[in-house]
Structure 1
Amino acid sequence: MDLRGQRVVVIGGTAGIGLAVARGAAREGAEVVVASRRPESVEAALRVLPEGAEGRVLDASDEDAVRGFFAGIGGYDHLVYTAGGSLLLESVAATDVAAARRFLDTRLWGAYLAVKYGAGSIRPGGSVVLTTGTAGHRPLPGSSVASALCGAMESLTRALAVELAPLRVNVVSPGVVRTELWRDLPEADREELYRSSAESLPVGRAGEPADVAEAYLYLMRGGYSTGSVVVVDGGGMLV
């Protein structure tokens, strides 16, 4: 069971977990299409992806742009959504509501738009794989917006799995992973986060994008999984 001959669209596929998914799918023989808001990010991704990969510039929070994107790419087999900038980590009192809305526009409403306009082009046997996070179950101080997002993504996945059946819809829930998600933290704080996570986790290390990408690949291949939340956190939910 592999992805040979299939077409995989990864929105947010030019960096971090999304790029790792695109590279993994391409290694299995899939044709990949990656999309991101920043042209330079798309160009960088295409330099490391195999020949034949496609890259598109897309603002996932722009409904007209999302509609046009899916109208232009034709049929495909799997939609993966990993788009989103750095985490919004602020206390409730300090949170800028406009910034919180922008955060949700890309991560929640962007995913919703992608499914709304992209599901109709997915071929029989295909799937959608969305992205959430463990903050929905293990919130930390300052994570109210991120935790709310995670809970919403899990509920959205289950609802879509019922509504869009037999199209399969699943979601991956990563723990602490070395990605651009943490780029707004000062470097020393970021490295301390990775170090402390490694010490506390049963696996003894922080996650890498390729670790998490395996879950997306499994869910694309696994024809008997739908409405599932797959946690990839190095055992973080246990400690």
Structure 2
Amino acid sequence: MAEHLAPYDTPLHRDETAVAGMWLFLASEVLLFGGLFLVVLVYSHTHAAGWAAGVRHTNLAIGSVNTLLLISSSAIYTLATEAARQGHERRIIPAALGAAGMGMTFLVLKGWEWRLEFREHLFPGPDFAISGPEAGGAQLFYSFYFLATALHGLHMLVGIGLIVWVCYRVRTHGGRPVSPMVVDVVGLYWSFVDLVWILLFPVLYLIGRA
């Protein structure tokens, strides 16, 4: 047992270290996305008309559905964390896979949205659909849009992979209870991904649309 816990003194020490490590990682992620939101703060004011024109071309319906999907997925994943704390192993996998399924649906819808935007020539470049004095600001907006949604999508793929890993751990644990810490740490990451989207949604779809 001592060898299994090395270099930790106790299971509690191990769990607290894992949670603290995830918080430290998320702090570094805040710096990454914070830089993106600084871009929004600057260019949405210096190129306000073009930025707002870009916002008005985004698909509000898909963005709204995806927001509901992510909020619901986080709510469902909390059922998995509660099941882990209570030692109900069988309840972890359905809740976790439900959250992962909603995450995959989010990515499918986002891919479809990207496809529509490429067809409408909204990717920054020579054939950009928005012309006139608003073109420069709109291209800045869509440069931010594609970069931010790509980064968020990458984080979602990592989160889905972690949820599947949790399910694998539960399934192959040989009847022994899985540490709630494992489920909690993945839940922290998934909640962070959800929070980033909640902040991105008004920036990408609402502010400047009226």
Higher relative contact order (CA 8 A, sep 6+): 2
TM-score (norm 2): 0.28
Select the structure that is richer in strand: 1
Larger radius of gyration: 2
User: What TM-score, normalized by structure 1, do the two folds share?
Assistant: 0.25
